[in-house]
Structure 1
Amino acid sequence: MYSMKKNNKYNKSTYKLPMTGGVKKGFRAYACAVLALAVMMSFAVPAFAASDDPIQVVNNLSDFIFGLIRAIGLILLGFGIVQVGLSLKSHDPSQRANGFMTLAGGVIITFAKEILNLITGA
């Protein structure tokens, strides 16, 4: 076990490394160039517009949102599997019930679009 003495070899003080003026200016120029490039690239995002059909725009947005919902459902599905596995190892019935509920919720959220299509008949 390590002792907390002042002369302990693990209790060293830290200090800044010396940097000359030219190196500082070069680093500042490099950091500014990287930041400017990152800002320019973030503003240069192409916007793909749909054709004259506004329904296509709504369908694209719906597909995007359901894709996000599906990703959240898959995360919940994986977490439910882990929870059920841990509950089987620890023999905890309440944790097992929570794991199966999370698992079922993850399945329902993952297939929410298909369930809604079945309900609406689309």
Structure 2
Amino acid sequence: MKFFSKKDTKKKETVKLPMRRKTKRALVAYAGAVLCMTCFTTTAFAANDPITVVNNLSDFIFGLVRAVGMIMLGFGIVQIGLSLKSHDPSQRANGFLTLAGGVVITFAKEILTLITG
């Protein structure tokens, strides 16, 4: 059993695809914009107060956690809707658990502040 045929031993040449002048200009403009956005940025200096830096990082992380919670909320609602359509009780239970988990994750910062005081 042979997987490769020895008949195709010809060397294939690579041919440069033609590119019009407008396309080249657009490519150069795009590359320049990407270069400006990535290389020519200014240095971000930290604030004088280290507590402010920690609070800003905490707000950023809780923002990411809130986004994940909102995604879980949406997925839980979709699961509940699909389970109501297909009359599947186990999928409905999973949907409600996902919905409850999404609510807890979305409001994690507020829950933590209530617990800690």
> Normalising by structure 1, what TM-score?
0.71
CA distance in 1 between counterparts of 2:105 and 2:70 reads 8
Please say if residues 50 and 56 of structure 1, whose CA atoms lie closer than 8 Å, have aligned partners that are also in contact: no
2:34 to 38, 44, 54: 38
- Tell me what 1:61 maps to: 57
Quick one: percent identity of the two aligned structures? 62
Q: What amino acid is the match of 2:35?
A: V
Structure 1 unaligned residues grouped into runs of 5+: 1-17
1:47-58 aligned at under 5 Å gives the runs 49-58=45-54
CA distance in 1 between counterparts of 2:40 and 2:60 reads 21
Q: Deviations over 1:68-89 (max 9, x none)?
A: 1101101100110111111111
Deviation of 1:47 after TM superposition, in Å, equals 5.5
- Tell me what 2:103 maps to: 107
Q: What amino acid is the match of 2:24?
A: R
Aligned length: 101
Deviation of 1:117 after TM superposition, in Å, equals 0.9
Deviation of 1:32 after TM superposition, in Å, equals 2.0
CA distance in 2 between counterparts of 1:47 and 1:75 reads 33
CA distance in 1 between counterparts of 2:58 and 2:22 reads 48
> Normalising by structure 2, what TM-score?
0.74
1:86 correspondence with 2:87: no
Q: RMSD of aligned C-alpha atoms?
A: 2.2
